Structure 1
């Protein structure tokens, strides 16, 4: 459902240039929710040019798996919007620089206990 709001917010960028697909504003079934998410990822892929490896699977979101991929996709979309619409005055998603934080290195993601 949040993907619907995200997709709808995209219409504020430049209405004549953004092909907003028809989506279900109040999806009443799981199928319609999944369809909305699929429309969102499709727009990320085809219109915004988010690379395939930065997209998430609709089923993963529906089943609550791989939320990191969902977040990665949203950040990738935010980056593409910034490049495509530099004059956009709406809200921006800023990624903080954690490069100086020793607790946030990639080795802690390997098995969950901090060991490599």
Structure 2
């Protein structure tokens, strides 16, 4: 599918989105995906080069992504849909949509997921990279191989009723002080001249 060439503000906005794409991060994502899919049956082999064309070519049909989520969480996507790589555009988009739905249930937040069009039409491949990085962090918390910074964990604190009441008696210095505050000496703009 081809879109009309962007121009004006649309071209500038798209150029900024394209400039955010980092081939090194994309390569790191593809290497991680290949590590997770190492024991896949049938084996899936692809080039882990992070340039835009290769990154898009590896992932655009959704086949690798669907197998990835199945490796992380078995039976997420029916095996019947993964017998062969899809050829028709709507089948490719269906696999990507299934992957994105499973990403949500896996725990990847909305703001780190991509839209189907970001991948199928190469609109925002950087968002696809962000999504895979988020999935890798989440996979690490579930016992799989991951990469990137460790995901934070909840630090829930339970206070007794006495501790909460004691805190109400403390005056915080964050509130500041308005002692001696007035508007004396304040002057904004030119003064009004009154002549008799």
TM-score (norm 2): 0.40
Give SS of 1:9's match.
helix
Contact 1:4-1:40 within 8 A present in 2 as well: no
Contact 2:137-2:148 within 8 A present in 1 as well: no
TM-score (norm 1): 0.63
What is the match of residue 61 of structure 1?
Answer: 119
Q: How many residues align?
A: 87
Are 2:113 and 1:21 aligned?
no
Gaps in structure 1 of 5+ consecutive residues: 97-116
2 CA distance for matches of 1:14 and 1:63? 27
Contact 2:140-2:147 within 8 A present in 1 as well: no
| 1:62-82 deviation line (CA, Å, top 9, x unaligned) | 110111110000010111111
Decide which of 126, 135, 141 is 1:83's aligned counterpart: 141
Determine which structure has more spread, i.e. the larger CA radius of gyration: 2
| 1:12-56 deviation line (CA, Å, top 9, x unaligned) | 4463xxx4223343212011001111111111012x110000000
Provide runs of 4+ in structure 1 moved above 6 Å.
none
Q: Are the structure 2 counterparts of residues 11 and 60 from structure 1 closer, same or farther at C-alpha, using a change threshold of 3 Å?
A: closer
